[in-house]
Chain A
């Protein structure tokens, strides 16, 4: 069900409409609501809030069964760019990220039927692949800084030549890695605000599939879903933020 919500397609690869998904959640929450673990409920509604672009009416209906504290937690997703007001204004315009997620999920299902439980592809996989296949990243979404300033960011042909062909040993110098490393382009991915297990897996697969590069992945912290939810619950509410800002 999680996977359906995140990708908008079912286990067979067909589209599911939003209203159907909302009905699914409603049934799940209504059926012995008291027995469902708080975390399960919360996670489900967080996924729905992010992936479904819920209309205000549906949103209100779904969050009914949550405690006040958890309702407040959902509103804090605003800090990560999840904004119900914006969804309402956009009306009907398709969500680009979600579209990409659906098509990636279809692809996964086509290749491997047991991917049913892992249809969803973390967005970082798409970003990582774009960096290699196209030299130009979508300038609307990404900015660039270069050192030296006149460097154009190209990875050159070096990455494609096996670096082992040229190995000049660093005689007697203290430190210094294996000399082959210096000729292999490096790509470092860094996520501010925590990296999940799925992203660690994606990065490791990416490194395996692109051995012409040295791939390094990092984050401010490694987190599981409960750590992430705990982090969001620690966020300021808008009111708390405004108050702190006034004092400052």
Chain B
């Protein structure tokens, strides 16, 4: 395995930007502040939780992660970081936190927005004196996408399909195209190094969706390049490699999404209950009763990582083969062959040390055999 080799990962870059650009940056600028509260809204919760662990946040001085949309305990002396989307509702909640002069929610605040804040909302915030006098940091951090896999991103906008394609030139569709281009552009600062771009779009004479999105995207990318030039005292002598962005609208291929795909991952998403990366599946216990189980499917599970894109038939074959190998190897060399009559403390502790790993591995094999079996039945 090439696990040691560095592999580019967008999700890892998001993690770096959250932990380093946002949190470590604050620690440098405010060395006297020991702790922060991090406030997030519905979307940014998902961004944070998809790529950073609570312990990592803790290491950067975040002692609590709070939801913007619920009533929270006030800490009028604490510093709070708001990592939120620049929407009416989130900024409305932010203003509400500081509407009562006698009971401000927090002391100083550090605002980080997931995307560009438009002037109307900026105005709205600056008019609130109680809020604006507390703002110690204001930054558009520009991370506005979800990263379920290391190099896969999406915006969780299922309405884009009906709105953009069946309402061309109507206001909701125009607004959504702009939102999509703005969100897409936040991938760029997350790449860290960029200079040259080639944006490709598919031509659709009836409704040039991707062309419009590509043009807005180009403006945004230019903006990021300008900003970068201002702050960069880059010492690298070699310019960064070019970036191609291919923007396609669904009309380029309306067929593929209807067809069933027979890879392991596609079958699981299609036929089993999947919430985030939690999957629900049924097993039978000894008495033949059906029980519901849940399991997490992520790339940390090496079987899943290895076989999720394989044709279901191959996945079944490979997982059972690996399982057999595993059993065979361990029968001869490990627990199975140990002479239990001469059990001393050392062998005992050896066995115990190995047990949890076995248990976990065994459980993993059974999980995948179960899932594959259920997919095959459909």
Find out whether the CB atom of A201 lies under 8 angstroms from the CB atom of B180.
no
Residues in chain A near residue B251, CB distance under 8 A: 79-81, 193
CB pairs A–B below 8 angstroms (13 shown): A140-B203, A141-B202, A142-B202, A145-B215, A158-B241, A168-B238, A181-B8, A182-B236, A190-B184, A190-B247, A192-B160, A217-B152, A225-B258
Find out whether the CB atom of B313 lies under 8 angstroms from the CB atom of A123.
no
- Tell yes or no: B193 within 8 A of A by CB: yes
- Tell yes or no: B250 within 8 A of A by CB: yes
A201 touching B266 in the complex, CB below 8 Å, given contacts A81-B206, A147-B221, A222-B154: yes
With beta carbons under 8 angstroms apart, the residue of A142, A155, A197 that contacts B242 is A155
- Tell yes or no: B369 within 8 A of A by CB: no
- Tell yes or no: B314 within 8 A of A by CB: yes
Residues in chain B near residue A131, CB distance under 8 A: 200, 244, 246
Among residues 230 to 261 in chain B, which have CB atoms less than 8 Å away from a CB atom of chain A? 235-238, 240-261
* Interface 0/1 of A206-238, CB less than 8 Å to B: 010000001111111111110111111011100
* Number of chain B residues whose Cβ lies closer than 8 Å to a Cβ of chain A: 97
Among residues 140 to 156 in chain A, which have CB atoms less than 8 Å away from a CB atom of chain B? 140-148, 151, 153-156
Find out whether the CB atom of B244 lies under 8 angstroms from the CB atom of A220.
no
Residues in chain B near residue A127, CB distance under 8 A: 246, 248, 252
Find out whether the CB atom of A147 lies under 8 angstroms from the CB atom of B197.
yes
Residues in chain B near residue A79, CB distance under 8 A: 165-166, 207, 251
Residue with the greatest number of chain A CB neighbours at <10 A, chosen from B24, B167, B253: B253
A234 to B303, CA, bound (A): 38
Instruction: Report the interface size class on chain A.
Output: 35 or more
With beta carbons under 8 angstroms apart, the residue of A124, A148, A230 that contacts B253 is A124
- In the complex, how many angstroms separate the beta carbon of A230 from the nearest chain B beta carbon? 8
Residues in chain B near residue A80, CB distance under 8 A: 165, 250-251, 254
With beta carbons under 8 angstroms apart, the residue of B151, B196, B199, B221 that contacts A214 is B151
Find out whether the CB atom of B161 lies under 8 angstroms from the CB atom of A142.
no
Residues in chain B near residue A229, CB distance under 8 A: 258
With beta carbons under 8 angstroms apart, the residue of A124, A186, A218, A220 that contacts B243 is A186
A221 touching B314 in the complex, CB below 8 Å, given contacts A235-B162, A248-B171: no
- Tell yes or no: B263 within 8 A of A by CB: yes
With beta carbons under 8 angstroms apart, the residue of A128, A182, A231 that contacts B192 is A182
With beta carbons under 8 angstroms apart, the residue of A141, A154, A231 that contacts B161 is A231
Q: Which residue of B lies closest to A153 (CB)?
A: B198
A241 touching B153 in the complex, CB below 8 Å, given contacts A143-B203, A223-B257: no
With beta carbons under 8 angstroms apart, the residue of A115, A176, A228 that contacts B257 is A228
* Interface 0/1 of B11-29, CB less than 8 Å to A: 0110011001100110010
* Interface 0/1 of A177-205, CB less than 8 Å to B: 11111111111111111111111110111
Dominant SS at the B interface?
A: mixed
Residues in chain B near residue A47, CB distance under 8 A: 255, 258-259
A156 touching B241 in the complex, CB below 8 Å, given contacts A131-B246, A168-B236: yes
A47 to B263, CA, bound (A): 20
Residue with the greatest number of chain B CB neighbours at <10 A, chosen from A50, A170, A174, A218: A218
Residues in chain A near residue B269, CB distance under 8 A: 197, 224
A217 to B9, CA, bound (A): 11
Find out whether the CB atom of B151 lies under 8 angstroms from the CB atom of A76.
no
Find out whether the CB atom of A114 lies under 8 angstroms from the CB atom of B311.
yes
- In the complex, how many angstroms separate the beta carbon of B362 from the nearest chain A beta carbon? 28
A153 to B159, CA, bound (A): 33
Among residues 170 to 210 in chain B, which have CB atoms less than 8 Å away from a CB atom of chain A? 170-171, 180, 184, 187, 191-193, 196-204, 206-207, 209-210
Residues in chain A near residue B209, CB distance under 8 A: 192-193
Find out whether the CB atom of A193 lies under 8 angstroms from the CB atom of B250.
yes
Residues in chain A near residue B255, CB distance under 8 A: 6, 47, 50-51, 123
- Tell yes or no: B61 within 8 A of A by CB: no
Residues in chain B near residue A215, CB distance under 8 A: 151
* Interface 0/1 of A72-87, CB less than 8 Å to B: 0000110111100000
A130 to B198, CA, bound (A): 15
Residues in chain A near residue B8, CB distance under 8 A: 177-178, 181, 184, 186, 214
Find out whether the CB atom of A216 lies under 8 angstroms from the CB atom of B153.
yes
Find out whether the CB atom of B21 lies under 8 angstroms from the CB atom of A198.
no
Q: Which residue of B lies closest to A123 (CB)?
A: B253
Find out whether the CB atom of A122 lies under 8 angstroms from the CB atom of B180.
no
- Tell yes or no: A137 within 8 A of B by CB: yes
Residues in chain A near residue B200, CB distance under 8 A: 131, 137, 142-144
Among residues 299 to 333 in chain B, which have CB atoms less than 8 Å away from a CB atom of chain A? 309, 311, 313-314
- Tell yes or no: B286 within 8 A of A by CB: no
Residues in chain B near residue A104, CB distance under 8 A: none
